[in-house]
Amino acid sequence: MNQLANMAPLLIPVLALLIPIVAIIGSFVTRSRREELLHETLRQLSERGQPIPPELLNGCAVAERRDVHKLIRDRNSLQIAGSVNVAAGLGLVVMFMAMSPQSWLWAIGCLPLFIGVALLLVWKSQKNQPVE
């Protein structure tokens, strides 16, 4: 029991990091399985010489349109995340400068500030690229 109490501070962050990893893997497996079933259905229909219902293929087209919309949303979320990080970084710089002007603590605000600038640069570079 004592060993478990000693390992708890290590296990909690490890488990917290595993949760999103499991969620990502789960969504990937689900999407792969769905596509596999769709392809198997299309293969069976074509082997039997039956016509392929347009709804099956339209589902693929709808998924492609969703991907384009998702890409546009992702670009917008880059802009939002970049702006929020720049604002948070500037806020931290100002706060730490006001708390103790002779200290180096203001540099802590540079971390989110530069992350925000990088996100805005990525957003700007993707904005100029055409959507496939």
Domain ranges of the chain: 1-52, 67-126
Q: Summarize pLDDT for 14-28 with one digit per residue, the tens.
A: 888 888 899 899 999
CA distance 44 to 66: 26
Contact 82, 89 (CB under 8 A): no
pLDDT at residue 63, rounded to an integer: 60
**Residue from 39, 94, 47 nearest 63 by CA:** 39
pLDDT at residue 128, rounded to an integer: 67
Q: Summarize pLDDT for 54-106 with one digit per residue, the tens.
A: 777 776 655 656 665 666 667 778 888 889 999 999 999 999 889 888 888 88
Residues 6+ apart with CB under 8 A from 112: 85, 86, 88, 89, 92
